[in-house]
Chains A and B, each alone.
Chain A
Amino acid sequence: MNDQLYQDRIVALAKAKTGAGRLEAPTKSARRDNPLCGDRVTIDVKLDGQGRITEIAHQVRGCLLCQASASALSAVAVGRDAAGIAEVRHDAERALGRQAGEAHEPFTAFVPVAAHKSRQECVLLPLEALKDALA
């Protein structure tokens, strides 16, 4: 059985749980819910004096795509400020076919989700939560 959506890279990202958990004394936190499916993401960050992320953690009550996206995000977030995270968002949007251009690692893993419009919000939810945390 070939699951077109759940390819190995997405499953591996989700299972890696990069950044899973909560931070003690985060600089900022935000929680986002997807009212359609009930997924919930909480993101904690610690920031340096220039607003760059020095530590990130996430708690996901959601599906594999949401977990994989939170892992991918955590893997590339450290050292980035809000503008840098906006760039990551563009990468995710490119992987999902919502923006023109090639996505970069690790978001290339989400290219199969381009064909599943109803699941794209699952991928974007951690990015929304982080955007809120940095706002």
Chain B
Amino acid sequence: MSFDVAAVRRQFPILSEIIDGRPIHYLDNGASAQTPLAVIDAVRHYETTSRANVLRGVHRLAERATEAYENARAEVATFLGVQPMETVFTGGCTAAINLVAYSYGSLLKPGDRILLSELEHHSNIVPWQLLRTRSGVELDMIPVTDDGRIDLAELPRLLTPKTKLVSLAHVSNVTGALLDVRAVVSAANAVGAKVMLDGAQRAPHGPLDLPSLGIDFYVFAGHKAYGPNGIGVLWGRPELLEAMPPFMGGGSMIGRVTFAETTWAPAPRRFEAGTPAIGPAIGLGAACTWMQRLDWSAAHDHEMALVQRLMDGLQRVDGTHLFGPASLQNRYPVVSFTLDGVHPHDVAQTLDSFGVAVRAGHHCAQPLMDRFDLDGTTRVSMAPYNDNSDIDALLAGVAHAAKTLR
């Protein structure tokens, strides 16, 4: 394999940390990925050479800050294959979904329907429930197949002329399943529904070409994509963003303010009220450029080889059950499993004593846990910097938990 994982690892300072005499085996990337020097340096550069507010000042630091902030927007747009003016910085992925639910949602009428799925993260369920309470829209749910994919065979039954939006995870944060976007867009278009993808688990695995997907909105989180916390992105079709009212009011998002009336700035500023998270935005721009430079074909092969090693290893431990697609096709490196007789939190706690970081619990996807009648799972989520030693340490920890905790 041509992928030089050691070279990638060297760019992530935290991976050489030693805690209690053990190296870190960081396999909780689905919750928050680690950040490379390129991002740390970009944020530090802004804070030490260009720190000022954006868009307002005329002094040189303000000019530098504004240029860096808008350059970051361009870097993110390039990563998504879209235009900067269609790219809105938000407080995170959750904030981006809430923005759409509030703003696009305000254009919907009682009785309009929004289609979600059973495997959505709570952040792609609860904002729509709040909208339902506010405005009387109805929510529908696509069930999940036994192998943890959204069951698209159900689409014809669930899509109606009343369906205005289909909002789905691009990649599941529990099963790693990749959505068949083409099938969803084709079916949604047939009834005139818009499509939004929650890209939180897809964006960390390489550049996108959103126009080719035919979707209407895309959201993702900075901290899961090797960037800082407190920053996320909403991409929207320009004609949709133009039709949407602001989510929050304040500075930067206005055209002209009088006490009688206020007009709105065009997108993206209309949706960026107040001083934005400038440093985090610059960091996310750097993260997107960092991702842009990686050979993702090789990185994906590397990640999926780790998935195979993990799945093979787990199946050798008596009493493990894997959730999600059995094949490596159309999936990303997120693997959930249970161990008979041992609660997922106890698996995760034992793994911590082996230096292995994973996530355990319901993964903010309680409807999916209910679907499989699970209290929770242990989730292993990988990034290009993970290597065989991470997987082997995890497998040793799982074997230890199986031996000592049941």
B229: Cβ under 8 A from any A Cβ: no
Contact A38-B369, Cβ < 8 Å, known A1-B400, A11-B404:
yes
Residues of B within 8 Å of A39, CB to CB, are 345, 375
Instruction: Output the least CB separation between B123 and chain A (Å).
Output: 15
Q: Are the C-beta atoms of A119 and B400 separated by less than 8 Å?
A: no
Stretch from B28-36, B99-107, B127-135, B348-356 contacting the other chain: B348-356
Interface residues of B in 339-367 (CB under 8 A from A): 342-346, 349-350, 353-354, 360-362, 366
B405: Cβ under 8 A from any A Cβ: yes
Contact A37-B349, Cβ < 8 Å, known A6-B404, A64-B343, A64-B405:
no
Q: Are the C-beta atoms of B375 and A2 separated by less than 8 Å?
A: no
Within 8 Å by CB of A6, from B344, B346, B366, lies B346
Instruction: Output the least CB separation between A22 and chain B (Å).
Output: 18
Q: Are the C-beta atoms of B353 and A5 separated by less than 8 Å?
A: yes
Residues of A within 8 Å of B404, CB to CB, are 3, 6, 11
A37 to B369, CA, bound (A): 12
Pairs A–B under 8 Å by Cβ, sample size 26: A1-B353, A1-B354, A1-B400, A2-B353, A3-B353, A3-B400, A4-B353, A6-B346, A6-B349, A6-B404, A36-B361, A37-B361, A37-B376, A38-B361, A38-B362, A38-B369, A39-B375, A62-B375, A63-B343, A63-B346, A64-B343, A64-B346, A64-B405, A65-B345, A65-B346, A116-B349
A65 to B262, CA, bound (A): 56
Residues of chain A touching chain B, judged by Cβ–Cβ distance below 8 Å, are: 1-6, 11, 36-40, 61-65, 116, 119, 122
Residues of B within 8 Å of A63, CB to CB, are 343-346, 349
Instruction: Output the least CB separation between A76 and chain B (Å).
Output: 23
From A1, A38, A116, A119, name the one whose CB has the most chain B CB atoms within 10 angstroms: A38
Residues of B within 8 Å of A40, CB to CB, are 375
Interface of A is mostly: loop
Q: Report how many A-B pairs have Cβ atoms within 8 Å.
A: 54
The 8 closest A-B pairs by CB, nearest first: A63-B343, A63-B345, A64-B346, A38-B362, A37-B361, A3-B353, A63-B346, A61-B375
Q: Are the C-beta atoms of A11 and B345 separated by less than 8 Å?
A: no
Q: Name the CB-closest residue of A to B346.
A: A64
Q: Are the C-beta atoms of A62 and B343 separated by less than 8 Å?
A: yes
Residues of B within 8 Å of A4, CB to CB, are 353
From B343, B400, B404, B405, name the one whose CB has the most chain A CB atoms within 10 angstroms: B343
Residues of B within 8 Å of A6, CB to CB, are 346, 349-350, 404-405
Q: Name the CB-closest residue of B to A116.
A: B349
A119 to B348, CA, bound (A): 12
Residues of B within 8 Å of A64, CB to CB, are 342-343, 345-346, 405
Q: Name the CB-closest residue of A to B369.
A: A38
Instruction: Output the least CB separation between A118 and chain B (Å).
Output: 10
Task: Give 17 new A-B contacts, CB below 8 A, not counting A3-B350, A37-B361.
Answer: A3-B349, A3-B353, A4-B353, A11-B405, A37-B360, A37-B362, A38-B362, A38-B366, A38-B369, A38-B375, A39-B345, A62-B343, A62-B375, A63-B345, A64-B346, A116-B349, A119-B349
Q: Name the CB-closest residue of A to B353.
A: A3
Residues of B within 8 Å of A119, CB to CB, are 345, 349
Q: Name the CB-closest residue of B to A61.
A: B375
Interface residues of B in 351-402 (CB under 8 A from A): 353-354, 360-362, 366, 369, 375-376, 400
